[in-house]
């Protein structure tokens, strides 16, 4: 999510206003701007003044020195809240709007100063948290829950759901568990259903650069043979899947994501083959509203490639056009919908939809 | 009494505002039926008082504001006692900052178009000046920070849009208008909890805010009978009926219980 929320705090929207800032703010340094506009509540050290003491409100003030909180969202979200106030991202209205007091350039300078409170560069910046595609694993470690539904649009019927839970730990790491389940049309038996192969994953951001707009991760998954093979929901063997993921910001709001993995079955007697998987995602994010503080849309296209590592194996190509859109004001609940179209006739087109909940930013029903 | 008044006031939402306006039109129609078009206007004058010994001339200790938690505010007010000015009355119990207005009997827009002349809500020495402001719908309000410290202006409205702006620099000004009639809009600074004020917005010109001597005056009223309401930010609401003679002045008085 290139443009998303953060800042568990306080603020309100204003419109149609004339303001005279005067000369005072024109020549101030970033630190002076922060001291003038922010330190009364957020403290000179960024840790936040103690609630209920010198300030008149009791809402907890976020700690800018806490890298877990302060690194994960892009500047654009912070500036949206600083400019238009907390309600622009469904946070508390106690956070005022500073859009009349500070220019966007001044708010950016304040943001640059706030970023210094987390002095640990190991934490990848939120700008590198690129939009999640329907299929491709992204490089950024996340705290998310994603429910994906894949429905066969042609051929034998099937409806497969997958619930993915991802949890960050430390600056660079993430673990995840994915639980698929569904029903499928199985020829003469009609429809049958059950659980699929549950997978456990680990990912680590090996290298990232905010200046270059790049992030590179390595990881691996173990896919357990928990699925019901007769329903087409299991492969009957444990599969190991080491992978690499790369994300690159292009032109500010555009991005490219690359992914490569090898699927290695533990028991090839089941018919499972060692297979290489590659994918690429190209997309562009834009936001509604005069200042870009509104609903966020990200059209993107995935290209998926798979090929078994054996002589004469064919290469399967799929194209997945899709659109991700933020559903709520806080922008931590998103929907993505697309169509996976195989380029050969042996496989069938599927419709894929996910609902993504970035649970670190608030409850599922918060921020609407 | 205050409680019942408040309940009745709460029932007047924006939809009820139309009923009020219609009632006003009807009242004006009756009024005009019995008077010539050239009938001279009248005035309402009066004084608002408070009982119970609530005055700022002999304030209890609890009425003193402690600004020691904020360096700028404590330095700005060094050498003087700052009092909670929610209830401002003189030694005779004459009550300031009471909004007195025609609640019924005047159609929306009565008194001509709203003035384009802005009124100022200033923040000076960590207090609102004035504490209570009354304006017309769409009349510009300049919100100014005259302090060299951050104030936020959190305006909690019901019929109008809530907003909260940060004013970090001395001399910064923001202009706002209010598009709907509303009495008792709360204004606070969330950084300095003692800073409280109120704004009243009217769709007619027949209102006033009592001065330090408790007096008020509403002029240029068409002759007729009106329901006059007096609103105080902590002491509640009172009302009374008043008949304004053509070319004359109706005298009224309100007395709040200070507790």
Quick check: B173 and A101 CB within 8 A?
no
pLDDT of residue B6: 34
Profile chain A (368 residues) by mean pLDDT over runs of 10 residues: 36 34 67 95 91 74 94 95 96 95 95 95 96 98 97 94 97 98 85 94 98 98 94 92 98 96 93 94 94 95 96 95 98 98 94 98 95
Residue of chain B whose alpha carbon sits nearest to that of A25: B169
CA A15/CA B127 separation, integer angstroms? 25
Q: How confident is the model at residue B90 (pLDDT cuts 50, 70, 90)?
A: confident
Q: What is the pLDDT of residues B186-205, one digit of tens each?
A: 999 999 999 999 999 999 99
pLDDT band at B107 (very low <50, low <70, confident <90, very high): low
Per DSSP bridges, beta strands A158-169 and B99-104 are unpaired
For Cα atoms A334, A149, A203, give the angle at the middle one, nearest 5 degrees. Answer: 65
Model pTM score: 0.84
Q: What is the pLDDT of residues A212-225, one digit of tens each?
A: 999 999 999 999 99
Q: What is the ipTM of this complex?
A: 0.84
Residues of B in contact with A98 (CB under 8 A): 165-166, 168
**Crossing angle for the helix pair A75-84 and A104-115, to the nearest 10 degrees:** 130
Encoding tokens for residue B27? 């009242």
Report in angstroms the alpha-carbon separations of A105 from A21, A272, B192, B259. Answer: 14, 56, 28, 53
Chosen from A15, A16, A19 to mutate, greatest number of chain B CBs within 10 A: A19
Nearest CA in chain B to A17: B175
Q: Chain B closest CA to A287's CA: distance in Å?
A: 23
- The residue in chain B having the minimum alpha-carbon distance to the alpha carbon of residue A26 is B169
Query: Are B176 and A17 a contacting pair at CB < 8 A?
Result: yes
d(Cα A313, Cα A315) in Å, to the nearest integer? Answer: 7
pLDDT of B28:
44
Chain A interface includes B172 (CB < 8 A): yes
Q: What is the pLDDT of residue B105?
A: 81
User: Which residues in B lie closer than 8 A to residue A55 (C-beta atoms)?
Assistant: 190-191, 193
List, in order, residues 6 or more apart from B19 with CB less than 8 Å away. Answer: none
Tell if the CB–CB gap between B166 and A97 is shorter than 8 Å: yes
Q: Identify from B122, B127, B165 which residue to disrupt to test chain A contact, counting A C-beta atoms within 10 A and taking the largest count.
A: B165
B174 — contact with chain A (CB < 8 Å)?
A: yes
Residues of chain A in contact with residue B146, where contact means CB-CB under 8 angstroms, are none
Burial class of residue B234 in the structure, from the number of CB atoms within 10 Å of its CB (0-12 exposed, 13-18 middle, 19+ buried): middle
Tell whether the model's pLDDT for residue B15 goes beyond 50.
no
Pairing of strands A286-287, A296-308: antiparallel
| pLDDT tens-digit readout, A176-211 | 999 999 999 887 778 889 999 999 999 999 999 999
Q: Note the pLDDT of residue A84.
A: 96
């Amino acid at each position: 999510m290139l443009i998303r929320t953060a800042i568990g705090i306080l603020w309100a929207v204003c419109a149609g206003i004339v303001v005279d800032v005067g000369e005072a703010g024109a020549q101030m340094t970033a630190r002076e701007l922060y001291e003038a506009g922010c330190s009364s509540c957020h403290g000179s050290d960024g840790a936040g003044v103690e609630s209920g003491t010198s300030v008149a409100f009791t809402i907890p003030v976020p700690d800018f020195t806490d890298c877990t909180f302060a690194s994960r969202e892009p500047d654009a979200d912070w500036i949206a809240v600083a400019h238009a106030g907390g309600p622009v991202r469904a946070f508390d209205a106690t956070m005022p709007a500073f859009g009349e007091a500070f220019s966007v350039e001044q708010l950016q300078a304040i943001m640059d100063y706030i970023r210094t409170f987390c002095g640990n560069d190991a934490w990848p910046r939120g700008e590198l948290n690129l939009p999640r595609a329907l299929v491709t694993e992204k490089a950024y470690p996340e705290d998310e829950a994603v429910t994906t539904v894949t429905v066969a649009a042609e051929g034998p019927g099937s409806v497969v759901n997958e619930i993915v839970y991802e949890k960050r730990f430390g600056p660079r790491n993430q673990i995840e568990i994915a639980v698929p389940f569904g029903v499928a049309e199985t020829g003469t038996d009609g429809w049958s259903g059950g659980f699929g192969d549950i997978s456990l994953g680990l990912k680590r951001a090996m290298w990232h650069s905010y200046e270059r707009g790049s992030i590179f991760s390595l990881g691996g998954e173990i896919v357990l043979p928990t699925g019901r093979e007769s329903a087409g929901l299991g492969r009957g063997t444990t599969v190991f899947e080491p992978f690499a993921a790369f994300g690159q910001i292009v032109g500010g709001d555009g991005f490219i994501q690359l992914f490569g993995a090898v699927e290695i079955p533990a028991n090839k007697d089941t018919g499972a083959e060692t297979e290489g998987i590659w994918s690429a995602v190209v997309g562009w994010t834009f936001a509604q509203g005069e200042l870009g503080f509104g609903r966020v849309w990200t059209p993107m296209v995935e290209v998926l490639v798979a090929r078994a590592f054996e002589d004469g194996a064919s290469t399967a190509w799929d194209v997945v056009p899709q659109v991700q859109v933020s559903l709520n004001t806080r922008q931590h609940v998103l929907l993505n919908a697309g169509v996976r179209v195989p380029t050969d006739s042996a496989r069938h087109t599927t419709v894929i939809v996910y609902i993504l909940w970035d649970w670190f930013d608030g409850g599922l029903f918060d921020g609407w | 009494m205050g409680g019942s008044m408040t309940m009745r006031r709460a029932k007047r939402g924006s939809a009820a505002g139309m009923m009020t306006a219609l009632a006003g039109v009807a009242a004006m129609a009756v009024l005009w039926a019995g008077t010539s078009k050239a009938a001279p206007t009248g005035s309402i004058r009066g004084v608002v008082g408070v009982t119970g010994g609530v005055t700022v001339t002999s304030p209890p200790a609890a009425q003193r504001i402690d600004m020691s938690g904020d360096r700028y505010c404590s330095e700005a007010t060094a050498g003087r006692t700052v009092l909670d000015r929610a209830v401002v009355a003189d030694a005779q119990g004459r009550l300031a900052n009471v909004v007195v207005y025609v609640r019924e009997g005047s159609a929306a827009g009565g008194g001509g178009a709203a003035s384009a002349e802005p009124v100022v809500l200033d923040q000076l020495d960590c207090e609102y000046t004035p504490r209570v402001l009354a304006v017309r719908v769409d009349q510009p309000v300049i919100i100014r920070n005259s302090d060299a410290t951050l104030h936020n202006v959190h305006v909690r409205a019901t019929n109008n849009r809530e907003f909260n702006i940060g004013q970090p620099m001395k001399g910064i000004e923001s202009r706002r208008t209010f598009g709907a009639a509303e009495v008792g809009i709360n204004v606070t600074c969330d950084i300095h909890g003692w800073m409280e004020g109120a704004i009243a917005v009217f769709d007619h010109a027949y209102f006033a805010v009592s001065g330090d001597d408790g007096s008020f005056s509403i002029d240029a009223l068409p002759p007729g009978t009106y329901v006059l309401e007096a609103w105080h930010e902590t002491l509640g609401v009172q009302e009374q009926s008043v008949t304004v003679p053509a070319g004359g002045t109706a005298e009224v008085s309100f007395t709040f219980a200070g507790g």
